A and B are shown apart, each in its own frame.
Chain A
Amino acid sequence: METKEFTPLEFPRILLYIVDNTDQAIFTPAIQFCKLFKSQLFVLFVLEEHRISKLASITHENIESIKKRIEEEGWEMLYLVEDEAVESGVRTSLHMENGQVPRVVKKYLENYKINLMLVRKREETKKIFVSANVPVIGL
């Protein structure tokens, strides 16, 4: 009888990309996933200029105040993930970046040698599923 050697899956570095505060729903599963695989969790929030400009044109709000609000919300999300991750004993690394999501994500996947990416399933994250060169799990 033929026997096959079982190789357990390993994901030392996992990237969680967050878009806004609705992503809080995936924080716990993402952290539990990292705990299960003993992974380090990289959390990324991207400040997108075009998203800010789009919001400004819709709301007629000042670009700077929108930028300030979105950046603060982003940091809040990052620290909320971190707080929960620390409680679970999961190593984290928080990142706030300016730029276009596909480019920033690509840079992070390469620079930090990410093995797996977690995102919340939504319209805005579809392009990540297509362009990422690592497995992506939609939560």
Chain B
Amino acid sequence: MEMSATEKLEAIKELVEFMVGKNIARNREQLFEALAKRENLESTGIGDGIAIPHARTDSVDDLVLVFARSSTGIDFSSIDGKPSHIIFLIASPENKKSEYIIALAKLSRLLRKLPVREQLKNASNPQEVLNIIKNNEE
């Protein structure tokens, strides 16, 4: 999805609305609170134009990954001070901590690679995004 928000909490709200609208998540308040709590305690902007907002919450039934882009960039208070153009939201139920940590770790490693970031910026559909992740994960 292409995002219109320019500030992180506004962006999270937009992502939450998207997830609820697609029936990926149930409780928008609970999901927003879980994500916002983390954003208030740290920056999920890992630098190089990437942000990975994430939370464990029972407002989702399974591990969920949402990919979004912002051509203008969103201020996620990244460690390098740069706006985020690629956003991956990860949410998982409370009892799936292990899968959640592994997903965050794999994604963080992948996104440190410049070619992966470039491919994701240019991807034209969701299947292409999945293929980029799959091909670079092998």
Chain A residues at the B interface, C-beta cutoff of 8 Å: 68, 71-76, 78-80, 82-83, 85-86, 89-96
Task: List chain B residues, Cβ under 8 A from A91.
Answer: 41-42
Alpha-carbon gap, A76 to B104, bound state (A)? 7
Interface flag for B1 (CB, 8 Å):
no
> Is B105 in contact with A93, judged by CB distance below 8 angstroms?
no
Interface pair B101/A83, CB less than 8 Å apart: yes
Q: Which residues of B contact A73 (CB under 8 A)?
A: 105
Task: Decide if B109 touches A75 in the complex (CB within 8 Å).
Answer: yes
Q: How far is the CA of A112 from the CA of B122 in the complex (A)?
A: 34
Taking a contact as CB atoms closer than 8 A, the residue among A76, A90, A92, A95 that contacts B105 in the complex is: A76
Chain B contacts for A86, CB-based, 8 A: 37-38, 41-42
How many of chain B's residues touch chain A, expressed as a range? 10 to 19
B46 proximal to A (CB < 8 A): yes
* B43 and A93 contact, CB distance less than 8 A: yes
**Top 3 closest pairs, chain A to chain B, by CB:** A75-B105, A76-B105, A75-B108
Q: Which of B46, B56, B109: most chain A Cβ within 10 A? A: B109
Question: Are A79 and B42 also in contact (CB < 8 A) when A72-B109, A95-B79 are?
Answer: no
| Contact call B109/A68, Cβ cutoff below 8 A | yes
Contact with A along B102-113 (1 / 0, CB 8 A): 101110110010
Interface residues of B (CB under 8 A from A): 37-38, 41-43, 46, 56, 79, 97, 101-102, 104-106, 108-109, 112
Give complex CA distance A93, B38 in Å. Answer: 11
Partner of B42, one of A72, A76, A80, A93: A93
How many angstroms from the CA of A91 to the CA of B37 in the assembled complex?
10
Find out whether the CB atom of B41 lies under 8 angstroms from the CB atom of A85.
yes
Chain A residues in 8 Å Cβ range of B37:
86
What are some 5 contacts across the A-B interface (CB < 8 A)? A72-B106, A78-B105, A79-B104, A83-B101, A86-B38
- Taking CB atoms, residues of chain A closer than 8 Å to B102 are 72, 76
In the complex, what residues of B have CB within 8 A of residue A95's CB? 79
**CB–CB A96/B42 < 8 A:** no
Residue of A71, A79, A80, A94 with highest tally of chain B CB at under 10 A: A79
B127 CB to closest chain A CB (Å) equals: 24
Out of A68, A71, A76, A85, name the residue touching B101 (CB < 8 Å): A76
A71 touches B109 (CB 8 A): yes
**Minimum CB–CB distance for B43 against chain A, Å:** 7
Chain A residues with CB under 8 A of B46:
94
Bound: A68/B106 CA distance, A:
9
Q: Are A89 and B112 in contact (CB under 8 A)?
A: no
**Min C-beta distance of A44 to chain B, whole Å:** 12
